[in-house]
Structure 1
Amino acid sequence: MDADGWLASGERVQIELRSGAWDVFVRAAGSGPWLTLLHGFPTSSWDWARVARILEPSFRVLAFDFLGFGDSDKPRRHEYSIVEQADLTEVLWRRLGIEEAGLVGHDYGATVAQEMLARAQEGKLEARLKGVVLLNAGLYVELARPLLIQRLLAAPLAGHLLAYSVTERAFSRSLSSVFSSGHQPTAADLHEQWQLVRRRGGVAVTPKLLRYMRERRANAARWESALERPTVPLRLVWGMADPRSGAHIAEHARQRIPSLGIVALDDVGHYPQLEAPEHVATAIEAAFT
């Protein structure tokens, strides 16, 4: 399914958060127990299209664009945060009547999942987590290897100036660099990813979205503790050839969390759901059935 088809199969719904009312792209399809898929930076819920197609006969799959991403609102004067994205997830669950769900997070979405794990452990999550599956992400802040362009865009002043000079070519080169050599994205896929980033003026908010890297450092103890003392089944589905958050993070997590299940995808990079959707869908299904 191309990006236009994905957007046509969902809708923009108004969501009330503490920061205001925002229109958010939401897609729910399939039948069975609820499963929520959280996307990464800088992309969108479209990342899950290939996996969702496989899972929908067995699960009711919820995928949405975080505030500032994809086809959701991208307010310029806004303090984006992981905590607010977790609030957004909870508001959607409440709106859809979701009382129990499996949670899958990739990259930025995995950090949101860590916040939700922490809330569950503190008894502050309304719904019940059936389990959590995480795909490639900087789970341990001291081991994260952000791209150069991410570090530059995250700079307080220079980032805003640089954002307006980022071209489709530079974006495509940067995104391709985290895929494995055997699973490179097509030119058409890269173009659609770029269009989703640009949609609704998204390039301008990129530096603000990248504040999550500072937020991750500030919350490292809480979020890493949530991983290491899981109260629900926890599994990694990991692209080991990811140059940024690959084998070194999976191995560190294995050492720190004895009960952790890891599905290692040896020839896969940072985007397992795009590079090996069948393997990822199989691993997710096994985790929640």
Structure 2
Amino acid sequence: MTTWMHPEIGDWEARGRRVAASGPTLGDVDVFVVDAPARTSEELEPLVVVHGFPTSSFDFAHLVDQLSDRRRVVLVDLPGFGLSDKPDAPYRVAGSADAVASVCDQLGLRRFALLSHDMGDTVVGELLARQLDGDWDVDVTRRVVTNGSIYIEMAHLTDGQLMLLSMPDERAARGPGPELLAASLVATLAPAHADVDMSAHAELQCHLGGDRLLPRIIRYIEERRADEARFTGAIEAHPSDLHVVWGPEDPIAVAAMADRLVAARPDATLTWIEGAGHYPQLEEPRSYLEALRAAIG
């Protein structure tokens, strides 16, 4: 059993289980899944949550009990992240989408809403494209998109991201370690929230040497450049209700991205989480939860 430095990780690990996921671009990988049942009544459709880079489903651990009040909530650690397997292999958006689709299939999820953040927006874009193409037989009812570089030419990539992208697509000899990784995560928050503790998020990524895989798992940015029409096109075009919940002080996925998405999809709603940066769910959790409830119940 792993001895964690951060006390909340063990409790989160105990809430989930490992699921054997597979797919044509994934192979066979065990992924960590938290499947939280509805606490009072199951009057709302289930919610599937897809996290971003370089963190994990733990980004939403503090909100699960509130989100699962009237619905089932399923959270997945993508391959290479958090408590999932971290093989030394190429990582692709399609493989991450395979993992989410495999989990949904095994849990019997056929009709559900989607909540995504950061890289998770891109993974959901691939899933929506498959559904539009008739290759994913599910009913996506509603969606919430949060702070992700869905228009990559508008993104202000950090020096750390650019350094990782300049490295070969292979496991690094050394990773940054939890302290440096936590500091880089704090740098993406709004200045007023520089005291938010990101150490658990960094520790989870460093688990099993995951920080050494950062040059591999960041390649989704290159795929965004090549296939943005597919990913963002599906985010814009999918007929399910679209809700955009965004931290306007994000130094990477800047506020103008949210404006552009809503301009492309005028029926969408846009809620700013004032005072928040790249992780509004951690910086302003109460406001973020209120925005989610207003959007999808």
TM-score normalised by L of structure 1: 0.93
Structure 2 partner of 1:141: 152
Q: Are residues 20 and 118 of structure 1, via their aligned partners in 2, closer, same or farther at CA, if it must alter by over 3 Å?
A: closer
Shift of 1:160: 5.0
Structure 1 partner of 2:8: 2
Give the % identical residues: 33
Shift of 1:288: 2.4
- Contact 1:133/1:237, CA 8 A, preserved across alignment: yes
Distance 1:81 1:66 in 2: 11
Shift of 1:281: 2.1
- Post-superposition CA distance 1:15-66 (Å, at most 9, x none): 2333432111111013122101111100010001122121111110000100
Letter in 2 for 1:55: L
Aligned pairs, number: 285
Structure 1 residues without counterparts, runs of 5 or longer: none
Shift of 1:197: 1.0
Letter in 2 for 1:270: H
- Post-superposition CA distance 1:134-187 (Å, at most 9, x none): 1100011111122111111122439855x615243322221111111222344x
Shift of 1:257: 2.1
State the 4+ residue runs in structure 1 displaced beyond 4 angstroms.
158-161
- Contact 1:54/1:278, CA 8 A, preserved across alignment: no
1:121 maps to which of 132, 152, 158:
132
Distance 1:190 1:106 in 2: 16
Distance 1:150 1:285 in 2: 33
Q: Are residues 266 and 75 of structure 1, via their aligned partners in 2, closer, same or farther at CA, if it must alter by over 3 Å?
A: same
- Contact 1:152/1:158, CA 8 A, preserved across alignment: no
- Contact 1:180/1:267, CA 8 A, preserved across alignment: yes
Structure 1 partner of 2:201: 193
Q: Are residues 242 and 279 of structure 1, via their aligned partners in 2, closer, same or farther at CA, if it must alter by over 3 Å?
A: same
Structure 2 partner of 1:179: 189
SS of residue in 2 equivalent to 1:249: helix
- Contact 1:143/1:249, CA 8 A, preserved across alignment: yes
Structure 2 partner of 1:273: 281
1:30 maps to which of 27, 37, 51:
37
Distance 2:239 2:175 in 1: 45
Q: Map 1:88-167 to 2 at 5 A.
A: 88-157=99-168, 161=172, 164-167=174-177
SS of residue in 1 equivalent to 2:189: coil
Query: Does 2:68 align with 1:56?
Result: yes
Distance 1:89 1:160 in 2: 24
SS of residue in 1 equivalent to 2:198: helix
TM-score normalised by L of structure 2: 0.90
Structure 1 partner of 2:293: 285
Structure 2 partner of 1:20: 27
- Post-superposition CA distance 1:217-238 (Å, at most 9, x none): 1111112221332311011100
RMSD over equivalenced CA pairs, Å? 1.8
Distance 1:222 1:13 in 2: 28
Structure 2 partner of 1:170: 180
- Contact 1:67/1:85, CA 8 A, preserved across alignment: yes
Shift of 1:6: 0.7
Distance 2:270 2:223 in 1: 26
- Contact 1:269/1:275, CA 8 A, preserved across alignment: yes
Query: Does 2:261 align with 1:253?
Result: yes
- Contact 2:47/2:115, CA 8 A, preserved across alignment: yes
